[in-house]
Amino acid sequence: MVQVSKSPGATAGAATSPAATSPAATAQAETESACCAGLEDLLSPRLFKALSDPRRLQLFVRLAGEGCACTVGQLADGSGVDLSVVSRHLAVLRDAGVISCEKRGKEVWCTVQSGEVAGILRDLADALDACCPARPTEERPTP
C-alpha cells in the first residue's frame, strides 16, 4: 500500500494536475510565450503616452489633417493654449516618433510621420493577431 504524504513541502506521491505537467501543456505554454514575445517590444510607453493626452492628440490630428508641414505658430493659432505649451506637446510627439520637426530659419516646421505611425500600428495589429487569434465570444446571459 502506497501512502500519500500531506506535508506542505512534499512532492513524492502528491497528486498533481495532468494538464499542468503534460508535454502538450508545456509546449503550448512555450508557444504562447514565444509568439507574444515580440508584442512587448511594440508596446512603446513613449508612443502611448504621446497619444494619450487629448491636447496632443488634437494637435496630431490637426497636423495630419493639414496634409503638409505646418509651423509651430500655425498649430498654436486657434488651439487655445500658449505657443510654449504647444511646443512642449509637439516635442513629446516628436520624441515618440509620430511627427518630425525641422528648423528653417526662425521657424520650426512639423510633419506627421504617417508611414512610421501606420507601420507601428500595422506591426502591433499583426502581433496581436498572431498572439491572440480571434476567438468566438460567448454571449453573456441577460439578467
Instruction: Give SS3 for 110.
Output: strand
55 in Cβ contact with 93 (< 8 Å): no
Q: What is the pLDDT of residues 106-130, one digit of tens each?
A: 999 999 999 988 998 898 888 888 8
pLDDT at 136 over 50: yes
Give the per-residue pLDDT at 88: 96
Please give the Cα distance from 42 to 97 (Å, whole number): 13
pTM summary value: 0.65
Instruction: Give SS3 for 101.
Output: strand
Residue with more model confidence, 8 or 94 = 94
Q: What is the pLDDT of residues 29-71, one digit of tens each?
A: 555 555 666 777 778 888 889 989 999 999 999 999 988 999 9
Retrieve residue 99's grid coordinates: 511627427
